[in-house]
Amino acid sequence: MRVPAEWYLVVALMLFVIGATGLLIRRNILVMFMCVELMLNAVNLTFVTFSRTLNDISGQAAVFFVLVVAAAEVVVGLGIIVAIFRRRAEATADDVHILKG
């Protein structure tokens, strides 16, 4: 029994909306960072769904590249977040200006 592709797309839409809403509403840098990752996973689910529906491997190849970019984003983003949290225990998105020399 196969799950219809529309269900996967609905789940991806819900994940993307949750991530976008969290990114726009929350001020905590770590929560915003996790919301961006949630949005990337929603896009990956969409790529895999269309890849499976169309019987084409290119969607799964795109997921591989998105995961590589997401891993690089994690390295750079967490480095910036740790630098901010070292200066202030409770940091928000407005505190990025403290990284100026």
Q: What is the CATH number of the domain that holds 37?
A: 1.10.287.3510
pTM: 0.83
Report the alpha-carbon distance of residue 3 to residue 34 in Å, rounded.
28
Above 80 in pLDDT, residue 90?
no
| 59-97 exposure pattern, b = at least 16 Cβ within 10 A, e = fewer | beebbeeeeeebeeeeeebeeebeebeeeeeebeeeeee
Domain that holds residue 76: 5-99
Domain count, the chain: 1
**pLDDT tens track for 28-78:** 888 888 999 999 999 999 999 999 999 999 999 999 999 999 999 889 988
Position 101 pLDDT exceeds 70: no
